[in-house]
Amino acid sequence: MAATLRPLARGASGDLVAAWPPALADDPYRNRYLIAIAVTLASVLELIDTSIVNVALPDMMGNLGATLDEIAWVSTGYIIANVIVIPMSGWLSAYFGRRKYLAGSIMLFVVASFLCGAAHTLVELVVFRIVQGVGGGALLSTAQATLFESFPPEEVGIGQAIFGVGVMVGPTIGPTLGGWIVDNYQWPWIFYINVPLGILAAILVLTYVRNAAHQERSRTVDVAGIALLTTCIGSLQWMLERGERNDWFESRFIVTLLVVSIASAVLLVWRELTAKEPVIDFRVLKSRQLTAGVLIAAMLGVALYGSVFVLPLFLQQLHGMTAWQTGKIILPGALASAVTMGIVGRNANRLDARLTVTAGSLLFLLSMWMLSRLTLDAGANDMFWPLIWRGTGLGLIFVPLTNATMADLKTERLAQGTGMFNLTRQLGGSLGIAVMATLLVRFAAQHRVALVSHLASGDAASMARLSALTQGMVAKGASLAVAKQQALALLDGQVMAQANVLAFSRIYLLCGLLLCAALPLLFVFKSGKGRGAMGPVH
């Protein structure tokens, strides 16, 4: 008993040293939860900054004297830099060492955040946002690969669940947090808030994260591969960001970006398959499980980010809610997602991803169907259960899908695999936002034409509504001629609002159906079990 209570013992040199039980001292996973907190915190900051600036753009325009097109680069520059770095993160992690690269990226993100807040001109702000995006690009893929190796095989699902909560909640709370900060402070604080949290994450990474033993540093730098990757992903992301504003392929500029992206993609694949030390190892896609998983991740990005994009618009534009009110409505669904991921993570080894992803996708479809039935009279209570089902569905998808996608990868290929997974999800998200924004405008225009045709054809119900509005205006003292004009204007506004409701309804259903359309890819999976259930892959 005395031996077990004695915390110190004499070492060979005579100095006092810790006498922990051998099992604890030799446990390579003993700091796994601190590592999970560190890398997830960094990832959440990166994801929040993708969307937090959107609500502050009007304030930035006034403060910096910028136009809407100019201020849009504050968001576009960050995202382009981000998606370019994501697929390179596996190579960069090996080149610099995972610990240094992760901590260095966090500190670059922190310094750039401070400089963004302190920027006095638009050029300064855009440049520092691009630097911030370069730092943030490392955080998702490197963090996920780190967690796969920081948890024992039987607990891999728990680590991915912790990370998954951040990935799902981050994009959701970004606009809400940004709205609260702008309302109560000034826009620079959306950047300054990253500084203390980022420093904490960097300290934890430097203290507890270790380099991967299997990683070998490249002897050469694939300059051509990096240049082609930058051109390909940068052009594609730029096209997605500016497509709607430039009327898509009616614009020569957008067509040029598409051609450049396709051509550079072809050259990139050829270059990386022939290079001895490629910056992106496309050979990792020989794993059919990984290939199927990243395609599902792309569709998940389209559906998730598309629905996340349109819901705040629905609540704020049609129901007049503030960003803070919107956040409070969305929060229960985010909590449902977190709770579900926790439960799924603890039972990951017993679950088959093919079943949980299917169940989650069907719940997501149910949620989108329920949202599609909302009207202008809908309130917060009407949105509670649809968002709970959406959160639960996403919780059932993320951890099992991630685990099963990486199941048969060798440990040294995990960083490349997570890079592919996160890149496709992010690009899918960008595509989802771009497509849904375009369709929302077009669907609303189509429904407006259909509704107006009822007025033009003398529809009895429409004429009765117009007459009632006219009489109401006359009762308020307007002349008959003025009352008719006011009634027509009011009815036109009601028609446009109803057209938007119908457009949102179609968008919700489309998001749900797109995710379910990816389910046949699950048949490609050799197994629905994750790495923990299959044991380490060497």
pLDDT tens per residue, range 389-432: 998 998 899 888 988 888 887 877 787 888 888 888 888 888 88
Same domain, 214 and 69: yes
Q: What is the gyration radius of the CA atoms in the chain, in angstroms?
A: 26
Same domain, 171 and 254: no
Domains held by the chain: number: 2
Is residue 301 assigned to a domain? no
Residue 6 has pLDDT above 80, yes or no: no
Helix (H, G, I), strand (E, B), or coil: what is residue 156? helix
Percentage, residues of the chain above pLDDT 90: 16
Same domain, 140 and 169: yes
Identify whether the C-beta of residue 447 lies closer than 8 Å to the C-beta of residue 252: no
Percentage, residues of the chain above pLDDT 70: 83
Among residues 276, 311, 341, which one ends one of the domains? 276
Structural domain that includes position 267: 223-276
How far is it, in rounded angstroms, from Cα 352 to Cα 423?
A: 24
Question: For 14-23, 255-264, 424-433, which range has the lowest pLDDT when averaged over its residues?
Answer: 14-23
Residue 267 has pLDDT above 60, yes or no: yes
CA atoms within 13 A on the CB side of 387: 24
The confidence score (pLDDT) of residue 256 equals 92
Is residue 196 assigned to a domain? yes
Same domain, 123 and 272: no
Is residue 105 assigned to a domain? yes
Same domain, 105 and 245: no
Same domain, 73 and 192: yes
CB atoms inside a 10 Å sphere around CB 482: 13
Same domain, 198 and 246: no
Identify whether the C-beta of residue 256 lies closer than 8 Å to the C-beta of residue 285: no
Same domain, 107 and 151: yes
Same domain, 46 and 86: yes
Same domain, 84 and 136: yes
Is residue 48 assigned to a domain? yes
Is residue 351 assigned to a domain? no
pLDDT tens figures, 181-230: 877 888 889 889 889 999 998 998 888 888 766 666 667 777 888 888 88
Is residue 115 assigned to a domain? yes
Identify whether the C-beta of residue 440 lies closer than 8 Å to the C-beta of residue 503: yes
Same domain, 258 and 162: no
| CATH number of the domain to which 179 belongs | 1.20.1250.20
Among residues 200, 219, 238, which one ends one of the domains? 219
Tokens 């951040």 — which residue?
166
Same domain, 112 and 193: yes
Tokens 């450049």 — which residue?
260
How far is it, in rounded angstroms, from Cα 251 to Cα 148?
A: 44
